């Protein structure tokens, strides 16, 4: 994020509005902040070098004791702080994966946590940004597009230049930047809780997702159709792989190469809602090396939201 000279950088924060189906309907998770004596959506500032999704998961865990999985994004909140700086808060819908602690880490920041009926929460929160998030979550629920799974299109990390590698494309490895990206990827993608990994068998792709596979305890399945060579000869096979992954909607990371991305994106556009399709990359290189395209997909295989993230290696 670029900042104008002489202007202080914005304060970056992230949070998640966790929801569940209770006995009396949809409930959401709110926290009470004693400093302001208000109820709000759990959120907090990014640590140095942290991505927005990782920060959202960490902050919810620290403030509520719940480890969440992120679903589709909610509207960001942007406002001025008393000192004149801009604060940007990114939000997601979330569901609970596990209980990670008995409650808030710091009682001076959060002294109570509770599940509240969605209808009651809309009257309980006071911040306009929180009200917008609650109204958006209600709209997603009414459209039956609240529960989503992530289909993650992952471009492999930065690789050694072709001219510096004479042993063939299948074995060309990641460079030092690419290896750092691969090591940082699990913290980013774990926020979305992927359940499987499909990759081109070429070395730079497998090496990109190997740290993620180890952290998540997943097996990397390789598909020749995701390689540059197979795609050049048989692009329909590549599209068939992507179409099958989207149709199954199981929460999958698909790691491939830049020349393959146009076919991948065309397949995604066919099942994306109009608003989501506008977020698809349109020009080469489509994704930067190491960048992830997160497709939030319904159980019917419709892509309802799209976001892009790079692992932070700063």
Tell me, yes or no, whether 4 lies in a domain.
no
Question: How far apart are alpha carbons 47 and 22 in whole angstroms?
Answer: 33
Tell me what pLDDT residue 3 has. Answer: 47
Q: Give me the CATH number covering residue 38.
A: 3.90.79.10
As for how many domains the chain has, the answer is 2
Domain check: are 16 and 122 in the same one? yes
Res 169 pLDDT > 50: yes
Confirm if 260 and 238 have CB atoms less than 8 A apart.
yes
pLDDT at residue 103 is higher than 90: no
pLDDT value at position 101? Answer: 74
CATH assignment at residue 271: 3.40.50.1240
Whether 158 and 264 map to the same domain: the answer is yes
| 111 touches 34 (CB < 8 A) | yes
- pLDDT confidence of residue 5: 58
Show contacts of 115-118: CB within 8 Å, 24+ apart: 115/20, 115/22, 115/27, 115/28, 115/29, 116/27, 116/28, 116/29, 116/30, 116/39, 117/22, 117/24, 117/25, 117/26, 117/27, 118/19, 118/25, 118/26, 118/27, 118/28
Averaged pLDDT for residues 126-131: 94
The answer to the question of residue 314 being in a domain is: no
Q: Give pLDDT tens digits for 68-98.
A: 999 999 999 999 999 999 999 999 999 999 8
Q: Rounded mean pLDDT of the chain? A: 95
- Please tell me whether residues 138 and 246 are part of one structural domain: no
For residue 6, the model assigns a pLDDT of 64
Return the closest-CA partner of residue 68 out of 209, 192, 236: 192
- The residue among 114, 142, 170 that closes a domain is 142
- Looking at the structure, do residues 15 and 122 belong to the same domain, yes or no? yes
263-305 per-position pLDDT tens digit = 999 999 999 999 999 999 999 999 999 999 999 999 999 999 9
The residue range of the domain holding 65 is 11-142
| Domain final position from 110, 142, 174 | 142
> What global pTM score does this model have?
0.94
192-229 pLDDT tens trace: 999 999 999 999 999 999 999 999 999 999 999 999 99
13 falls in which pLDDT band (50, 70, 90)?
very high
Percent of the chain having pLDDT more than 90? Answer: 90
Give the bridge partners for 21, in sequence order.
Answer: 26
pLDDT of the residue at 314: 77
**Which tens digit of pLDDT belongs to each residue from 54-70?**
999 999 999 999 999 99
Do both 303 and 155 map to the same domain? yes
């Amino acid at each position: 994020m670029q900042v104008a000279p002489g202007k202080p950088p914005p304060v970056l924060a992230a949070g998640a509005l966790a929801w569940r189906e209770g006995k009396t309907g949809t409930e959401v998770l709110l926290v009470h902040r004693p400093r302001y004596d208000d109820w709000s959506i759990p959120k907090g500032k990014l640590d140095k070098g942290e991505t927005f999704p990782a920060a959202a998961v960490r902050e919810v865990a620290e403030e509520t004791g719940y480890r969440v999985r992120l679903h589709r994004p909610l509207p960001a909140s942007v406002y001025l702080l008393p000192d004149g700086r801009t604060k940007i808060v990114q939000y997601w819908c979330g569901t609970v994966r596990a209980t990670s602690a008995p409650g808030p880490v710091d009682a001076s920041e959060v002294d109570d946590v509770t599940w509240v009926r969605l209808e009651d929460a809309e009257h309980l929160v006071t911040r306009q940004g929180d009200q917008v998030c609650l109204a958006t979550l209600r709209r997603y629920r009414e459209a039956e597009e609240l529960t989503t799974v992530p289909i993650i299109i992952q471009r492999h990390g930065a690789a050694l230049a072709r001219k510096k590698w004479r042993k063939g494309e299948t074995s060309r490895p990641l460079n030092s930047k690419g290896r750092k990206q691969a090591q940082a990827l699990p913290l980013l993608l774990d926020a979305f809780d992927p359940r499987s990994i499909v990759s081109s068998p070429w070395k730079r792709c497998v090496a990109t997702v190997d740290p993620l596979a180890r952290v998540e305890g997943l097996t990397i399945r390789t598909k020749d159709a995701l390689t540059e060579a197979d795609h050049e000869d048989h692009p329909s096979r590549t599209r068939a792989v992507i179409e099958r992954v989207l149709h199954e909607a199981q929460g999958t990371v698909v790691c491939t190469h830049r020349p393959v991305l146009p076919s991948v994106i065309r397949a995604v556009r066919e099942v994306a809602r109009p608003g989501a399709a506008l977020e698809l990359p349109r020009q080469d290189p489509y994704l930067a090396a190491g960048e992830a395209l997160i497709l939030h997909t319904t159980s019917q295989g419709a892509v309802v939201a799209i976001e892009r993230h790079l692992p932070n290696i700063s």
